[in-house]
Structure 1
């Protein structure tokens, strides 16, 4: 399991906005974070839709953090980009297991517990701590 490049970039973008605590245009955000402008805009749209950041139109437009940094966790940003956290495909609710149906699968139980552990750990780290 790994965090995709898009999720990594989203973390960089949110971190950038929390550090500067001011409105910034997409070009400045892209340059500061080392993310291409096109990819930054794609990520910014997702973060705006999730309510993590706000966007403003016009000549004085740009982006800024919509919540206090302490109220934004790594989990929030990663799941905004990646969707629900599942360490294995067998923990996904729509997964159709091909293993024999005799008894319950111990692997699935372990993977569900690991996914929960990772979720709680990511929820415990907020962007105020990262400043």
Structure 2
């Protein structure tokens, strides 16, 4: 499993908003995070759809977190951008294994599933507020 650049940048964007504690314009978010404006806007749209960020239009518009930093985890941000966290393709529902008759009896899948759960749980334990101060 590799976290994409987009998910990495989304974490930076969300942290930037947490650190600010209020509204910021897209241009300022872009400048503070080092993410291009175009890419920052794409990320912000996804974070808005996931109800992690709110947007405001007009002269006093901008973006702010829709939740407290303690309520936004790295895992939620990553899955918002990259989809479900999976360390191996055999854990995906649409995967058809050709080695065993049933995925439920595969020992490799059991190990991958266990490790995947540990990683996912840990990423969901880490919240934005842990990086503040």
TM-score w.r.t. the length of structure 1 is: 0.96
Following the alignment from structure 2 to structure 1, what is the Cα–Cα distance between the partners of residues 20 and 88? 37
TM-score w.r.t. the length of structure 2 is: 0.95
Structure 1 partner of 2:116: 115
User: Is 1:23 aligned to 2:23, yes or no?
Assistant: yes
More helix as a share of residues? 2
Following the alignment from structure 2 to structure 1, what is the Cα–Cα distance between the partners of residues 100 and 10? 40
Structure 1 partner of 2:76: 76
Q: Would you identify which runs of 4 or more consecutive aligned residues in structure 1 move more than 3 Å? A: none
Following the alignment from structure 1 to structure 2, what is the Cα–Cα distance between the partners of residues 12 and 90? 30
Following the alignment from structure 1 to structure 2, what is the Cα–Cα distance between the partners of residues 56 and 90? 41
C-alpha displacement of 1:22: 1.4
Unaligned runs of 5+ in 1: none
CA RMSD of aligned residues (A): 1.2
